Structure 1
């Protein structure tokens, strides 16, 4: 029953809005959808007049607003680094050439995120409020991809800005002659990489169905645990 409902839902989605059949392109399309519309697919485009669509629009507007605020904070931080000398240079020499160049890249990406995010927010709100979104289903494939890239651009720029800012600070601190600063920098780098790994892991496991297709209740889990203990205690 669930399989037939899923197949029926997919069949209602226009072919130009479906994921490609190629595994690599399918994965790329899925990632693009997640970044652009916070969904793994464009299945919600099959009906843009229901309550779910309106809730999705509200979520997207809120996300764009949060992205703009975060990009503004990153922009302010990089501006501070680029426009002021380090107060204690031997601890954090972010005025070094390599660190300064990377900070400039972060500044440019953050500025692009703010500009593109503001444009996306204004146009997205205006379009969803005053235009017929049913036309999304009739857009050619290249227009769909262009729209997704446009929606994802602020988030992509923000990610680049944040990562490059972290790298700039890491280089500045790791080049310090203070061992405590070096240790803190290494721990921060480990935490940063660990968070990335955890993010990928959580994204991969959340919402994934069990192998047998059934969910075990807490009582069933306890019963299975007791049964395994009892079996282990039986004489052989």
Structure 2
């Protein structure tokens, strides 16, 4: 069996026109992404974090980077509202499974503090920092229309053990898939023709998992 080469991709999304309008928003979202990177890296350290993808050009570059890095799985952190046209090229070009992370920084906005801001621009910026759920239906619909398989995980950045357990399970599943795709599988001898239940379609094994075929022969197999 070849050495485990599992590599995980991670990126966040946003809209570049927001950064000049809402002071501190980009930095805040990057900090959230860094926390997510640390948590995923605790499950598997071989991680490629491309930061916040916030326009079309960056989306195409990110897709190319994920392909060149040969990532096996992508975690897409929906940090705030972003155009689905910015998201689609990344996963289209990467051509690997994608997990949408619909993660809120807290359980809810502090509305008492929010209502005391007295500045519509600052209030909008605060709302955008909690806007992860807003574009998820749009992104999911585009993925469905374009035939991209995905899974969604919803929860909170802090104090949500269930969310991070689910992330860990996806990482473990990716490890198994990676091991299977680098595994050498040999078929020894031939099945007895009357034992119909044990026949294996080797082609399906390679179709779903990959792997390396090896033919083994045992001449004096007893009947």
Is TM more than 0.5 here? no
TM-score normalised by L of structure 2: 0.29
Structure with bigger strand share is 2
From the CA coordinates, give the structure whose radius of gyration is larger: 1
Structure with bigger helix share is 1
